[in-house]
Amino acid sequence: MKYSLFVATAIATVVGGSTTGQVMAQSPNQNLRSFFETGRPQSQDTLRFQRPPSGVPPIRTNANNWQLIVFSQGNVSFWMPPGILAQDNVVIATAEGDLNFQTLTSTDNDHRYVAAYATGLTEQQINDPAALFTAMQARVAPTETFSLMNERPVTLGDYQGSEFTFESDTERVTFRAYLVGNKIYAMGIIQPLTSTRDNAPARFLMRCSSLIIDALMIKALVTPE
């Protein structure tokens, strides 16, 4: 079953000015190493970090060149680290119904970052956030190779969220999700245990979360009572 792709705009800051353009690469339908189920084929029930298709050039490799990604249909923006961008549509099944995610991945060598959102949640899903977070946790990393190291509740203003950390023998996954009204926002990073980017997860999650808060504040200001 096909879902319409979201429209995203990448705004990449370059030396001497700014360049705006669409730099999206649609994920190919082939067996790619996934973020959530490493080594398994793409399916309709797994949020994933995809390795980008070959031949797609990165925007830049400058460590300071973060890209502002605008999810026009999701009415939210995310700051993404530099890398090759790929988009995907993912469906996650829950006891209360499916979650239809639009995802964006940025891949920079052995680091992968994902930002995603799902809209149109049912009343049952909205009223049972714990079930939603549990369903997403089950898709974050394969139990054959990853172990859950930490799980903690997080908040975004008045909204509930959950953060998971998984580790394998070689990699660490940090993933966070928020339930905001009838939407879910998700973000995460996978990196080697030997990574020297010690603050990469905290920096990425903080930037993503702050933009969601900004969007909610703007919406509250422009929405008539």
**Domain regions of the chain by residue span:** 8-222
Closest by CA to 24, choosing from 74, 69, 75, is: 69
* The pLDDT of residue 18: 33
pLDDT averaged per 10 residues in sequence order, the chain, 225 residues? 29 29 37 38 44 45 66 72 85 81 85 87 89 83 87 88 93 90 87 79 69 49 42
Measured distance CA(133)–CA(120) in Å, rounded: 16
Alpha carbon distance 97, 1 (integer Å): 16
Q: Identify the residue whose tokens are 């049952």.
A: 124
Q: What is the pLDDT of residue 22?
A: 35
- For residue 74, the model assigns a pLDDT of 64
How far CA 17 is from CA of 12, 13, 60, in Å, comes to 9, 7, 14
Rounded Cα gap, residues 16 and 175, in angstroms: 35
Q: How far apart are CA 155 and CA 162, in angstroms?
A: 8
Judge contact between 161 and 155, C-beta under 8 A.
yes
Q: What is the DSSP letter of 83?
A: S
Provide the whole-model pTM. 0.66
**How far, CA to CA in Å, does 135 sit from each of 31, 97, 211?**
23, 11, 25
Q: For residue 144, give the 3-state DSSP assignment.
A: coil
Instruction: Check: CB of residue 81 under 8 Å from CB of residue 204.
Output: yes
Report the Cα 115 to chain-centroid distance in Å: 2
Distance CA 37, CA 139 (A): 7
pLDDT of residue 155: 87
| Residue position matching structure tokens 């009572």 | 225
The pLDDT of residue 163 is 92
| Tokens of residue 149, six digits | 């190291």
In this predicted structure, what is the pLDDT of residue 77? 72
Order of all β-strands in the sheet with 8-14:
17-21, 8-14, 67-71, 76-80
**Residue 76 per-residue DSSP state:** E
Q: What is the pLDDT of residue 38?
A: 39
Region of residue 204 (phi > 0: left; psi between -120 and 50: alpha; otherwise: beta): alpha
